[in-house]
Amino acid sequence: MERYKNSELLLQKALELVPTGSQTFSKSHYAYPRHASPMFLERGKGSAVWDVDGHQYIDFVNSLLCVSLGYADEDINAAVMAQLQNGVSFSLPHRLEIEVAELLVDCIPSAEMVRFAKNGTDVTSAAIRLARAYTGREHVAVGGYHGWQDWYIGSTTRDLGVPGAVKALTHTFKYNDLTSLETLFSQFPKQIAAVILEPMTFDLPKPGYLDDVKKLCEREGALLIFDEMITGFRFALGGAQEYFNVVPHLSTFGKGMANGFPLSAIVGQRDIMKSMDDIFFSGTFGGETMSLAAAKATLLKMRAKDVAGDLIRKGEALKVSVEKLIREQQLEDYCSISGFPSWTLLAIKDTPNYTGLELKSLFIQECALRGILMNATHNLSYAHSDQDIQRLLEVYGEVLPILKEVSENKLLASRLKGDVLKPVFKVR
């Protein structure tokens, strides 16, 4: 499409220099239909972004949930710029490491000690190494998505390059199915070091489920690790563990903690975290001060403004309205919405004529043409206004019936102006 001319030129150049043309699968042409949606963004402010062709969008992707307060938030920018004047990385630790750690200990129930890194994969991998060192065991039970390192990705269909010996140590279980986890403990008695899971994705935990998982872990001598990359600071300031009142032994946080600046953290019980003295977990940029300054300002603003409560309020209104639209337009065979209010999924379903991936390609195209950047999850930020939510609902009122029309009349070939999305792997 001529609309995305500059995006296409940049993508062509990127594909010559960068495998997949992006640093992140979920930001690449695997996740957005080439020729039918923007491929590169130029800038952002608040809830809005502009692509390299000058088109403006209300962004409901928010850098995969990293932008929690909004793009170029003035309070965060001011904190970062002030620190920039004094230096970014130093030869010894900086006081910000202590100050941000104190904030996390103050708000996260499981946090007695804290270590920082840059990405979610860094700290989930650190949690697994720490659990193995602490328990003297090697096997791991996983539920959800936990990054790209061998110990986890070997359990998915994207396991190329992972040694078989590593794959053999990781085992998946079904969320909300305690029996599937009990079975793993039976198959590997006194061998499982840790159970790591996302405390919630798009299905609420059954009553007592998270409590029962913790009891099972303690009975079997394994550590319980909550991967709160997404749920942290979004379900409550202290994450899903605060919201559901279940405290794990270790937890990992990141994404929105620093409003888009690269920072992650592993937190947990003091006696377990002290084993960090003996394992090797170290990185040059763990104490980088601009991200820590951003995190300090972000956490203080989240607490002062009750950001989690605001996201829940807006998300609940969005979810209820989408459910009503689906019901009134008789779209139940084509889409559904699920999840916690501040992070919901609009699932595009397979139909007799097209796969959900084909229809999702059209959905992204049509939303983008109407000024909505969307990849089927509603990653709300504090900057989203009620007017933004209302505009999204108006767009859905136009776009979702198109999916039904196209599917019933086999019109996809004439309506989709770009490529069909490519599958990566399904983890949720």
Angle between helix 289-305 and 74-84 (nearest 10): 150
Rounded CA Rg of the chain = 22
The catalytic residue among 118, 255, 314, 360 is 255
Contacts of 258 (CB under 8 A, 6+ apart): 76, 291, 292, 294, 295, 298
- Is 271 a catalytic site residue? no
pLDDT tens for 266-313 read 999 999 999 999 999 999 999 999 999 999 999 999 999 999 999 999
pLDDT at 423 (0 to 100): 81
Task: Label the pairing between strands 250-253 and 48-51.
Answer: unpaired
pLDDT, tens only, 20-48: 999 999 999 999 999 999 999 999 999 99
Domains, the chain, in order of start with CATH, read: 2-71+307-415 (3.90.1150.10), 89-287 (3.40.640.10)
pLDDT of 427 over the 80 cut: no
pLDDT tens string 138-194: 999 999 999 999 999 999 999 999 999 999 999 999 999 999 999 999 999 999 999
Which among 4, 57, 134, 145 is annotated as catalytic? 145
Residue-wise pLDDT for 207-221, tens only, equals 999 999 999 999 999
Rounded to whole angstroms, how far apart are CA atoms 327 and 321? 10
Nearest CA among 170, 172, 197, 199 for reference residue 183: 172
Worst-scoring range by mean pLDDT, 30-34, 54-58, 165-169, 419-423?
A: 419-423
Q: How far from 147 is each of 38, 121, 200, 243, CA to CA, in Å?
A: 26, 5, 16, 24
For this structure, is 145 an active site residue? yes
Active site residue 319: no
pTM of the predicted model over 0.75: yes
